[in-house]
Structure 1
Amino acid sequence: MSFKLSRRDLMTAAGSSAALAAIPARAMQAAASTDPAAVALDAIAESFLVLQPEGATGLGIDTGKRAPLKSRLTDRSAAGRAKEAAWLRTALARIDTLQPGEDTRTDVAVARTAYSTALDGYGFPYGAVDIGGWRNGPYVVAQNMGAYLDVPKFLDSSHTVETAADAEAYLARLDSFADQLDGETGRLKDARGRGIIASQVLMKKTLDGIRLSRKGAPKDWDVVTSLAKRTGSIPGDWAARAEKIAAGRVAPALDRQIAELEQHAKVATTDAGVWKFRDGDAYYAWALRASTTTRMTPDEVHAMGLSELARLQAEMDTILKKLGYTQGSVGARMIALGKDPRYTFPNDDTGRAQIMALIQDRLKDIRTRLPRAFATLVDGRVEVRRIAPAEEIGAPGAYGGAGSIDGKVPGRFWINLRTTDLHTKYSLPTLTYHESIPGHVWQGEYTHKLPLIRTQMGFNAFSEGWALYAEQLAGELGVYDDDPVGRLGYLQSIAFRACRLVVDTGLHAKRWTREKAIQWFAETNGSGIEEVTSEVDRYCAWPGQACGYKVGHSEINRLRTQAQGRLGDRFDFRGYNDVVVRGGGVPLNVLAQNVERWEASRRA
């Protein structure tokens, strides 16, 4: 969608921020409420922290009365899964008794949608259901999910260590890491008995990753060295104690999980999609609903992808011809552009350093432009980090998110540097806007201003739709005005998400092979084979998740176009962006309600 800031928008951005009405004003209030519905929702949120205590640490609220949570991890066993399902039923029953007021109407609607969707997911005998989140998948452990990946990164990047008590809590969690692994291993055995086995390719990637995390002496593992580095000024034999737990508890648990995964690998097939399971079609319909917060069918999602791709590539074709790329399909010409030495990085540490430098340069530039797009600004604190080598094998090109509420942990932009072939100089700026600011890190900081129950939820279609919209905003703020190749990078990024709609549904509903998906994706969008191979394998492990991006982005734009048409001169560019981002993560139907109330406030 093309949109240029008017002179009035630019003049307004230079003035002071004004309070918005209805939902946006509610979104920035942190004061305690006497509304019975708000009190009940807060109690539900607190009980959820007990169920999944990592959430308290991630938000930076594992202090005071919540301090005991800092020593615990989620139960990943079959019993833990059953406990989560029971908790959902109880929480939903409580929510159904509430009579929300104006301030809690959205909160109740959001919680009901998140919990009911998750409970439906627990009806399938599959691997992962993320309550109020996005990381759903049919496999207990895969190349991009499982305790072997999650816990070391969580302990290093989220678990703060400032006191002896923090260090003791770290050791307690390290000990629980072994229990998490064994809980998963028990569920893996059950899955094998049910025939719920990942494909041969995914099994190889998973085993490669977990063996890498097991490699070496425990004293050199990240879970040990991270604590050692952070307790230098805290008296105690922390490193030795961590090493003892790692060697005596974690290593044997990793070995047991590796042995079970090797049994999976022996019977794995080449079939990539969930259609291969007995109730695979029903499961995929649920996965699409969880990801998009809509009732779109696989056929509708597939058709939307093809339509959006055609529209985007028409603009790309025009730019490519002006640059002298006139022969072949848009995808073929983008492949040629991607091989141009002017736009690639050396595939070594020099190239990795260049990538990091370019990211920092784009962050510095976009910060100066954001007051023209938002009336209410947040800090946008972001730290750029390389994804750990054990995770890079199965990870996407990058991902990001906001830090803790207390500010001790900044937002993170994680970049995959296993090979610099994953990135080009014209695609990296757009990736930066998506993962950091004004994308995931930026949006997440607004969520921190919401009630506790809302900070625990991140609807995929909204959060990823917003991140694509953030890429669009950067263009509307002029970053590509004198950079047609950069504009191509942006358009290719959006087209990439349109391709996801086609490929994800192709794999899971239309029985595409992995090879067909990779070939179609690379040739159609002109993306590198390394990048799309990792992407396709991700879709195999997370059915439906990749579809939330473009569905959410299209809806944010549809609502903006509708508001512009209805409001005319009363439409406020910054006001619209504020109402969307300050309303927090919501299902798309709730987003539409928020925008409609904002429109009404503008007409009043």
Structure 2
Amino acid sequence: MRFLIVLLCLAFFACESDPPETERETDAPAEAAFEALLTSYQEGRLQLNPLEATMLGDDRYNDRLPNSLTDEYKAESRGFYQDYLNQLNQVDRSVLGATDQVSYDVLKWELNIALQGADFATQLLPLDQFTGPHLMIGQLASGAGAQPFETVEDYDNWLARAEDFAVMMDTARVNMERGAARGYLLPRSLALKLLPQLESLAAEPVEEHLFFGPANRIPDTFPTEERERLQGAFRGMVGQRMIPLFTDLATYVREEYVPQARETSGIDALPKGEAYYNYLIKLYTTTDMTADEIHELGLSEVARIREAMEGIKAKVGFEGDLQAFFDYVRTNADLMPFDDPQEVIANFEAIHERMQPQLDRLFNKTPKTEFEVRRTEAFREASASAEYNPGSQDGSRPGIFYVPIPEVEEYNVFSDEDLFLHEAIPGHHYQFSLQQENESLPAFRRNLWYSAYGEGWALYAESLGKELGLYEDPYQYFGMLSAEMHRAIRLVVDTGIHSKGWSRERAIQYSLENEAESEASIVAEIERYMAMPAQALSYKVGQLKIRELRARAEEAFGDAFDIKAFHDLVLEGGCLPLAVLEKKVEEWIAGA
């Protein structure tokens, strides 16, 4: 999923279930000073990353977009993190309360990992089909995202930010040329997927351009002269800045970049690529696991899940091997019943309604933040996966589950129940929203994102389907197994691509042999892993840890095990490194 990926935590930290602060003496002035440091850090980080502030509903920096692709910005960021690390090293951790000790350890890791990441020349690969800034800004530019368009100031803020974005894209072009000269090139398949995105943003007429969308919806309450001024400004911004910019960039990618794009698939083919992949494994899994260990884990999980799939194949009476059953599920017309994209959205809404009455059996707390299902925007739909974008911290903007529907007649429903549990409820929407709404956490922790925890929770949530009244249809249960298989395959193919010399084609073939996703979907996924090395490892690593912890608690408590209490424990502290989560559960069990 593509939302705010904030720096992760690896080390074994103290946890929030340490003895209550009243059981030992603390230094109140030191705690006050530490809390001031946390506040200052969060404020500085939002200024350094104003898009994050916008996503949180903080509108103070909506007119800004620092050019993060410049050497100057990298130097400023490095200085920021080093300065706060120096300040943090002056704090005596031992005099802080339990929650502050956790915050101390988390902040220290974030600062250290940010400084480690600064050593890699990521700015020389500024664009790809899955993570480039043109995608996030495109969502905001449409007027349907986090950027508000309600006041005249909102519109002027966006015009200023759009110009900053144009400058950033000019830098992206320069960096692509610099990167190519130094051996930093996208794989050819990714460059080819990037091209139509850029071409769509270069297309006329102005009035139908994605970036002109807000100008078509200027409120009637604005004075006439302001409406006319803003429409003129948007027309100039699109026609004189964005269309020429993207035309030039698309031409460069088509005529110069694609012909020299590399044939290799893995990040280890780039300068310092092996070291960068090892860094990313730590970043995304919050473990010390090696690529080899993760690869072997993936192979064992694939074997285990294949056995469960054989059981479903037998249950539905299919004759033939598992590979033939995959093909049958992929092409079964009964599983592709829709003619209109809105029917896909309506199906997810029906799933929500069907499982909602059962949520009280598993959870004490439910989010206040509203929730919506939307179709992925057309300009990025062809290369997108289903994803969740968090709501604003104050709840004024809902969490959004985006569903790509590029060819509705080919849309297969066999995994929709599972997908809803992961991306929406009780997966990402519960985890994100409850964390943001928890006012007892320091501000910087209310918005942390640790992929192993967050994606691990969402994959764990998929296993709750039967407890929530879903998976009654064996094909939907097979969809859950397929989704788990999908994440197990990721352990194999991601490490294969980035550390074992696997080609894109070998990874695609391995996936086709072990899961029922369509070939088009598998290709998009493999190219996602190529664009985002190691991120795909976080799901299964996190899920297996949460399942292990639940099993431990069930064995320890026996009939007294309270699933609501377990879920509260897992969710209450927001995103945490897996070692912290494990310690919390161990102490909960020990204290019973």
TM-score (norm 1): 0.87
Name the SS for the 2:401 alignment partner.
strand
Aligned to 1:253: 245
Question: Is 2:267 aligned against 1:270?
Answer: no
Q: Figure out how many residues of one structure are paired with residues of the other and give that number.
A: 555
Question: Is 2:46 aligned against 1:49?
Answer: yes
- 2:166 is matched with which residue: 145, 169, 178? 178
Note if contact 2:370-2:397 (Cα within 8 Å) is conserved in structure 1: no
Note if contact 2:191-2:253 (Cα within 8 Å) is conserved in structure 1: yes
Aligned to 1:148: 134
Name the SS for the 1:485 alignment partner.
helix
Amino acid at match of 1:49: L
Name the SS for the 2:319 alignment partner.
coil
Report which stretch shifted further, 399-408 or 535-544. Answer: 399-408
Structure 2: state its 5+ residue gaps.
1-15, 22-29
Aligned to 1:228: 216
Q: Deviations over 1:471-517 (max 9, x none)?
A: 1122333312x322211111111111001111111111111111111
Aligned to 2:184: 196
Amino acid at match of 2:304: R
Name the SS for the 1:103 alignment partner.
helix
1:23, 1:356 → 2: CA distance? Answer: 45
- 2:331 is matched with which residue: 339, 354, 365? 339
- 2:379 is matched with which residue: 390, 397, 401? 390
- 2:413 is matched with which residue: 404, 408, 425? 425
Question: Is 2:457 aligned against 1:457?
Answer: no
1:600, 1:36 → 2: CA distance? Answer: 33
1:538, 1:86 → 2: CA distance? Answer: 32
- 2:275 is matched with which residue: 282, 286, 290? 282
**Matching of residues 93-492 of structure 1 within 5 Å:** 93-98=86-91, 99=93, 100-127=96-123, 139-155=125-141, 156=143, 157-235=145-223, 236=226, 237=228, 238-262=230-254, 263-328=256-321, 330-346=322-338, 350-379=339-368, 381-396=370-385, 398-420=386-408, 423-448=411-436, 449=438, 450-480=441-471, 482-492=472-482
Assess, with a 3 A threshold, how the Cα gap between structure 1 residues 227 and 442 changes in structure 2: closer, same or farther.
Answer: farther
Note if contact 2:306-2:514 (Cα within 8 Å) is conserved in structure 1: no
Assess, with a 3 A threshold, how the Cα gap between structure 1 residues 308 and 380 changes in structure 2: closer, same or farther.
Answer: farther
Amino acid at match of 2:460: Y
2:343, 2:497 → 1: CA distance? Answer: 36
Name the SS for the 1:54 alignment partner.
helix
Assess, with a 3 A threshold, how the Cα gap between structure 1 residues 24 and 266 changes in structure 2: closer, same or farther.
Answer: farther
Assess, with a 3 A threshold, how the Cα gap between structure 1 residues 230 and 102 changes in structure 2: closer, same or farther.
Answer: farther
Structure 1 residue 76 displacement after superposition: 2.3
Structure 1 residue 534 displacement after superposition: 0.1
Q: Deviations over 1:310-367 (max 9, x none)?
A: 1122111112101112321x34312212322211134xxx242221111110112222
Name the SS for the 2:201 alignment partner.
helix
Amino acid at match of 1:161: F
1:24, 1:204 → 2: CA distance? Answer: 56
Note if contact 2:309-2:481 (Cα within 8 Å) is conserved in structure 1: yes
Report which stretch shifted further, 189-198 or 118-127. Answer: 118-127
1:530, 1:200 → 2: CA distance? Answer: 17
Q: Deviations over 1:4-49 (max 9, x none)?
A: xxxxxxxxxxxxxxxxx948999xxxxxx96332221111011000
Assess, with a 3 A threshold, how the Cα gap between structure 1 residues 570 and 274 changes in structure 2: closer, same or farther.
Answer: same
Assess, with a 3 A threshold, how the Cα gap between structure 1 residues 54 and 200 changes in structure 2: closer, same or farther.
Answer: same
Amino acid at match of 1:321: A
Percentage of matched positions with identical amino acids: 29
Structure 1 residue 576 displacement after superposition: 0.9
Q: Deviations over 1:170-203 (max 9, x none)?
A: 2211222212212322322221121110111111
Structure 1 residue 253 displacement after superposition: 3.1
Name the SS for the 2:148 alignment partner.
coil
Q: Deviations over 1:32-70 (max 9, x none)?
A: x963322211110110000011111111122xxxx2x12
Report which stretch shifted further, 155-164 or 398-407. Answer: 155-164
Amino acid at match of 2:128: A
Q: Deviations over 1:397-424 (max 9, x none)?
A: x000320012221001011111247742
Structure 1: state its 5+ residue gaps.
1-20, 27-32, 128-137
Note if contact 1:401-1:435 (Cα within 8 Å) is conserved in structure 2: no
1:513, 1:422 → 2: CA distance? Answer: 27
Structure 1 residue 118 displacement after superposition: 2.7
Name the SS for the 1:71 alignment partner.
coil
Structure 1 residue 395 displacement after superposition: 1.5
Note if contact 1:583-1:594 (Cα within 8 Å) is conserved in structure 2: no
Note if contact 1:302-1:502 (Cα within 8 Å) is conserved in structure 2: yes
- 1:36 is matched with which residue: 33, 38, 53? 33
2:409, 2:584 → 1: CA distance? Answer: 41
Structure 1 residue 542 displacement after superposition: 0.4
Note if contact 1:182-1:256 (Cα within 8 Å) is conserved in structure 2: no
Note if contact 2:456-2:544 (Cα within 8 Å) is conserved in structure 1: yes
Q: Deviations over 1:409-463 (max 9, x none)?
A: 1001011111247742221111111111111112110111232211332111111
Amino acid at match of 2:477: R
1:23, 1:476 → 2: CA distance? Answer: 32
Cα RMSD for the two superposed structures: 2.2
Note if contact 1:210-1:258 (Cα within 8 Å) is conserved in structure 2: yes
Note if contact 2:460-2:546 (Cα within 8 Å) is conserved in structure 1: yes
Amino acid at match of 2:539: Y
- 2:575 is matched with which residue: 585, 596, 599? 585
Aligned to 2:507: 517
Note if contact 1:24-1:579 (Cα within 8 Å) is conserved in structure 2: no
Note if contact 1:37-1:101 (Cα within 8 Å) is conserved in structure 2: no
Note if contact 2:206-2:239 (Cα within 8 Å) is conserved in structure 1: yes
1:421, 1:440 → 2: CA distance? Answer: 28
Aligned to 1:72: 64
Report which stretch shifted further, 494-503 or 412-421. Answer: 412-421
1:421, 1:309 → 2: CA distance? Answer: 30
Note if contact 1:413-1:436 (Cα within 8 Å) is conserved in structure 2: yes
2:133, 2:367 → 1: CA distance? Answer: 33
Assess, with a 3 A threshold, how the Cα gap between structure 1 residues 249 and 25 changes in structure 2: closer, same or farther.
Answer: farther
2:410, 2:539 → 1: CA distance? Answer: 20
1:289, 1:310 → 2: CA distance? Answer: 25
Note if contact 2:20-2:98 (Cα within 8 Å) is conserved in structure 1: no
Assess, with a 3 A threshold, how the Cα gap between structure 1 residues 217 and 575 changes in structure 2: closer, same or farther.
Answer: same
Note if contact 1:109-1:590 (Cα within 8 Å) is conserved in structure 2: no
2:121, 2:210 → 1: CA distance? Answer: 33
Note if contact 2:55-2:392 (Cα within 8 Å) is conserved in structure 1: yes
Note if contact 1:383-1:413 (Cα within 8 Å) is conserved in structure 2: yes
Note if contact 1:60-1:404 (Cα within 8 Å) is conserved in structure 2: yes
Assess, with a 3 A threshold, how the Cα gap between structure 1 residues 331 and 42 changes in structure 2: closer, same or farther.
Answer: farther
